Amino acid sequence: MSQEKVDRYKEQKAHRQEIYKKEKRILALEKTAGILICVAVVAWIGYSVYGKVTASQDAKVIETVMDATAIDDYLAETDAAE
């Protein structure tokens, strides 16, 4: 082995614990970020589905408005005539 390789090996060996800790931290951060992204996507999909379901249920309700003043007036006249 060349002297450069030997020096690099000694440097890595001296800092091996620090390198492993750094790699573990990076891996944990990557996993955490991946989990957070998955949770965000699932929550977004759930919210979208909930919005569509409640919108379709609101669309099923039909409200009809009718002006009944003519009928009320007619009934009032018939009661007064009796």
Q: What is the reported pLDDT for 78?
A: 84
The domain tally of the chain equals 1
Evaluate if residue 60 carries a pLDDT over 80: no
Which residue range(s) make up the domain with 65? 3-81
pTM above 0.75, yes or no: no
- The lowest-confidence range among 28-37, 39-48, 62-71 is 62-71
C-alpha to C-alpha distance for 70 and 82, rounded to whole angstroms: 19
Evaluate if residue 44 carries a pLDDT over 80: yes
pLDDT, tens digit (0-9, with 9 covering 90-100), for 1-43: 689 999 888 888 888 899 999 999 999 999 999 999 999 999 9
Q: Residues 6 or more apart from 19 whose CB is under 8 A from it?
A: 12
Token readout for 56 is 């379709």
